[in-house]
Structure 1
């Protein structure tokens, strides 16, 4: 019974996020442009459950390269408004758009000609009228059976905040090493600073064959190591190429007779590689930039000494980033 109810709640919340997804329009680009043009900070404000969501949004923005602070509307009206500079942009959160404490604050902010972005479920609300841009997070229904407790609405609001953070991250070309700089301490910071040689797979765990091997031998190694790729090396173990699952699929779908194709014809020469003395975060940046899942690790002489798989960095291996 409880499990079925839980599934229903998750379905309702997913329905709410998809409703927001389907309505998303040019106003989102306007909001991103406004924040990108801001020379100082994004001030996030809201009260109650919206305030708690706002605190999380501000934290996510800070960690992904958009300087932000959370401002409590009541405390702001008793002096904390001094934290807001004329060059800031305000992101105000209220599902109804009629939260009295928030709207009193926004009237003061508007008097200072500070631009306001509304994160709201009603475009005809007082909050929306204060704002330059309104991000509509209206949902069909709350997951709460009474229709009273903010459930789907807060989930949709949080998801919109995440969408903003990721869009801004992309615009700013924020990289893994930038993320590392914002997390110098704690478990995450320590893991991002680990040298590649400490986490790479070595020895017989590396899927590799000689450049003199046949295509069939390379495919056998590909299947045996199950890493999605096999590296091809020269006589001195120097990295010469890579053969991936995708290469095999493309080869099979072509008109060529597979039995007549050599390994050097099927492989991709000069694959991306990284030095073992760099950091794991540097490897992650390369993988993200080039949208690859495996990366060769080479010595100063260009010899293949290890391999990194994205799973080892992000969750399936023993080395994990707790992002």
Structure 2
């Protein structure tokens, strides 16, 4: 390892260690002297009849944007308002029903302190996330959350590093506590993330991806083996359902079953579908999540599953390729 690399690794690992210690100290404060203030902040955020407005300048502003985004995606309507723009009209976005979360490590950012009296006259609740309990920001706040750090990770102890990490973590702590208090579920998260993989998994149902109607391979139990193979080839599922006259599922026959019969040396030409089918196949309902179908297939090491109604009648089928095309797996 070169001297340059060694120095870089030393500085990098040192920065991580400083930030890790800052978070451990923050966690200890949250369990101790800051517990009441944190609980008060959660109570006020839950009681908010408007939106949560997050503000911050510089690096604190970047952190604030992320906190607002996290709150919004976890059930708490939130937006970011830049303090400098607030002084030039954007303060009109804030209403008396809102809760403002203001971030400033020093608590003395000029653009932020300039609008604090206006926010107080407006009647909005103010929650401060700051490293100084004796700052101007803290003196105007209804609730003060202490995000102070012993030192920055910057070797000059100047660039906001550990302090912004502490702010970000405290914002995440608020969001996590709020989503739990609101009873926010995976389905709720998916609705605000419809374009993501989690959204697809939690919003896509079997009925959305299954094959239905004539696309579902099916034969009667007395169908000749050759007819069953033609049905499987025509429908391309890699399997066929075997049903009775009321379309109730009796069994299934798959490509794997065919391979095993051939390996066993069975004379297939004289056999019927009912003789070679596997009884009691794995099935799923159309209203189930597609992700449940994927879990079922993985758990039982199968590549296709039949879809039935509450009376066991065949209504559809799907395989792993269908789930892959829907980007569920």
Q: Does TM-score exceed 0.5, indicating one fold?
A: yes
Quote the offset at 1:278 in angstroms. 2.2
Residue by residue over 1:177-225, the C-alpha shift from the partner in whole angstroms, topping out at 9 and shown as x without a partner, is: 1112112335554444334697xxxxxxxxxxxxxxxxxxxxxxxxxxx
Matches within 5 A, 1:257-276: 275=285
- Is 1:20 the equivalent of 2:26? yes
Matches within 5 A, 1:14-163: 14-24=20-30, 25-163=35-173
Matches within 5 A, 1:305-320: none
Q: 1:10 aligns with which of 13, 16, 25?
A: 16
What is the CA RMSD across the aligned residues, in angstroms?
A: 3.6
User: What is the aligned partner in structure 2 of residue 289 from structure 1?
Assistant: none
Q: How many residues align?
A: 237
Answer yes or no: is the 8 Å Cα contact 1:238–1:302 preserved in 2. no
- Is 1:171 the equivalent of 2:181? yes
Q: For residues 157 and 300 of structure 1, do their structure 2 counterparts lie closer, same or farther at Cα, with a shift above 3 Å needed?
A: same
User: What is the aligned partner in structure 1 of residue 270 from structure 2?
Assistant: none
Answer yes or no: is the 8 Å Cα contact 1:44–1:70 preserved in 2. yes
- Is 1:183 the equivalent of 2:189? no
Answer yes or no: is the 8 Å Cα contact 1:44–1:58 preserved in 2. yes
Instruction: Report which of the two structures shows the higher radius of gyration computed on alpha carbons.
Output: 2
Answer yes or no: is the 8 Å Cα contact 1:38–1:88 preserved in 2. yes
Quote the offset at 1:238 in angstroms. 8.6
Answer yes or no: is the 8 Å Cα contact 2:197–2:328 preserved in 1. no
Equivalent residue of 1:69, what SS? strand
Quote the offset at 1:26 in angstroms. 1.1
Could you tell me how far apart the structure 1 residues matched to 2:136 and 2:46 are?
A: 25
Equivalent residue of 1:16, what SS? helix
Q: For residues 9 and 299 of structure 1, do their structure 2 counterparts lie closer, same or farther at Cα, with a shift above 3 Å needed?
A: farther
Equivalent residue of 1:129, what SS? helix
Q: For residues 104 and 192 of structure 1, do their structure 2 counterparts lie closer, same or farther at Cα, with a shift above 3 Å needed?
A: same
Quote the offset at 1:143 in angstroms. 0.4
Structure 1 runs not aligned, ≥5 long: 199-234, 240-273, 284-293, 307-317
Structure 2 runs not aligned, ≥5 long: 1-5, 210-278, 293-298, 319-326
Could you tell me how far apart the structure 1 residues matched to 2:286 and 2:22 are?
A: 46
Quote the offset at 1:40 in angstroms. 1.1
Could you tell me how far apart the structure 1 residues matched to 2:290 and 2:147 are?
A: 38
Equivalent residue of 1:98, what SS? coil
Quote the offset at 1:302 in angstroms. 10
